[in-house]
């Protein structure tokens, strides 16, 4: 069972002892991301994440930072999202002190040298170029741009190349000072650990974390009264698109029903859309539907890649499945299959220390409440066929439909005409 502790400076500590495994994961989440940025500094959260790997006083270079955990076969990385930035290290549990020392060192003692920043901005611009050249990935950014427009929720996490090229070190340091604070940070250790001893170690390694009141993000504004489309012209052999609707945030009582609805549509190789669009029609190699819930937004979206000649046919098939869920309740077997698919995935991943660390700490940071695995599974089990239909009727409306598309098309009007349900 996990244990949560809040120490005097506001830092939250979560320990998760796990029996019969040898690994331990240190995961630090900070409550910041691209939704906390301003237009002129879009991408700064992600830029800062990169800079934590460029050198500390103790480990003065990228090589010294990397080889610390390479020497013991550890895994480590970091990530930036809209609302979270995370840093983690996974090691044989006998190297837990080393992992704690490493993570705390990069987060508390990074030098953020100007020369390293100049080098890293080139790396980040190449990362942006990589995403722009990968339609399967970039179409998701366009999808969120279509939904949220020119506000933080609609901006790319990596930022725009022009902004990154001109971002000043002073801005980076100020962002660090305003967001990387004890009250905005959670340290979690999960795995083969003694929770009491580990809690003491976390306090020791993070005792110098800065205090203060972290900056808060502006609430997302959502407004839509008709179907929307965004077409990104690119000469491709295959069109990649995201088609979906606005949905529920993390705190909505029907968010688990939205998750199961997405699973029924495109959550596996026996899902409705996989069978309809791929197996029966042969239109695509990949297709999937996901449910996204953040603190103030949510959506359900289907993504696929099809031959340029088959885009309209694929879109119509997807909309047909959306519509069918409004008019007819899912039967008992299909509902149970979707529930078991979700529960099985959770249970199978549960044997990993990094999954358990993420499970507990992300709930604490985003929702302020932690449900156990058993309680999560119960939430899934409680969803009824009537709930699924209720969600379908609510979100599958023409005025909530959105289509983002990358392909060799310049006229979006013919695609917008398809957005009927």
- Catalytic residue positions, numbered: 49
Asked if residues 6 and 176 have their Cβ atoms less than 8 Å apart, the reply is no
What's the start-to-end Cα distance of the chain, in Å? Answer: 46
CA distance 361 to 202: 15
CA distance 23 to 353: 7
Q: 189: which strand partners?
A: 15, 26
Judged on CB neighbours under 10 Å (0-12, 13-18, 19+), 31 is buried
| Cα-based distances in Å from 125 to 45, 163, 219, 268 | 14, 10, 28, 35
| Cα-based distances in Å from 205 to 114, 224, 353, 419 | 27, 48, 20, 54
| Cα-based distances in Å from 171 to 38, 41, 56, 117, 218 | 11, 8, 19, 12, 19
Q: 298: which strand partners?
A: 293
Asked if residues 317 and 277 have their Cβ atoms less than 8 Å apart, the reply is yes
**Sheet with 12-17, side-by-side order of all strands:** 3-6, 12-17, 185-191, 23-30, 85-92, 75-80
Asked if residues 241 and 405 have their Cβ atoms less than 8 Å apart, the reply is yes
């Amino acid at each position: 069972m996990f244990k949560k502790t809040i120490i005097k400076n506001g830092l939250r500590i979560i320990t998760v002892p796990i029996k019969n495994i040898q690994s331990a994961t240190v995961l630090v989440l900070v409550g910041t991301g691209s939704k906390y940025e301003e237009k002129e500094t879009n991408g700064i959260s992600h830029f800062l994440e990169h800079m934590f790997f460029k050198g500390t006083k103790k480990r003065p270079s990228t090589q010294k930072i990397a080889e610390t955990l390479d020497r013991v076969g550890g895994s480590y990385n970091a990530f930036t999202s809209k609302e979270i930035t995370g840093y983690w290290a996974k090691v044989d549990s006998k190297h837990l002190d080393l992992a704690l020392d490493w993570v705390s060192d990069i987060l508390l003692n990074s030098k953020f040298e100007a020369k390293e920043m100049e080098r890293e901005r080139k790396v980040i611009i190449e990362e942006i170029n990589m995403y722009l050249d990968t339609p399967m990935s970039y179409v998701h950014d366009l999808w969120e741009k279509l939904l949220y427009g020119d506000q933080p929720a609609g901006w790319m996490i990596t930022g725009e190349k022009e902004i990154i090229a001109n971002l000043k070190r002073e801005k980076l340091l100020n962002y660090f000072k305003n967001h990387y604070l004890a009250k905005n940070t959670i340290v979690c250790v999960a795995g083969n650990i003694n929770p009491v001893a580990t809690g003491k170690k976390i306090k020791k390694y993070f005792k110098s974390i800065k205090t203060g009141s972290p900056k808060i993000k502006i609430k997302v504004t959502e407004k839509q009264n008709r179907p929307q489309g965004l077409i990104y012209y690119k000469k491709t052999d295959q069109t990649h698109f995201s088609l979906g609707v606005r949905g529920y945030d993390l705190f909505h009582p029907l968010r688990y029903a939205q998750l199961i609805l997405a699973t029924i549509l495109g959550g596996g190789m026996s899902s409705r859309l996989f069978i309809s669009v791929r197996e029966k029609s042969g239109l695509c190699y990949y297709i999937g539907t996901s449910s996204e819930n953040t603190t103030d937004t949510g959506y359900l979206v289907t993504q696929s890649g099809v031959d340029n000649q088959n885009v309209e046919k694929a879109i119509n098939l997807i909309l047909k499945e959306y519509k069918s869920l409004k008019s007819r309740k899912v039967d008992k077997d299909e509902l149970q299959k979707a529930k078991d698919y979700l529960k099985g995935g959770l249970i199978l991943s549960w044997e990993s220390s990094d999954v358990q660390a993420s499970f507990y700490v992300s709930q604490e940071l985003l929702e302020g409440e932690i449900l156990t695995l058993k309680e999560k599974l119960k939430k899934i089990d409680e969803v009824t066929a009537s709930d699924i239909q209720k969600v379908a009727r609510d979100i599958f409306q023409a005025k909530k439909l959105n289509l983002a598309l990358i392909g060799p098309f310049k006229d979006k009007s013919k695609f917008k005409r398809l957005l009927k349900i």
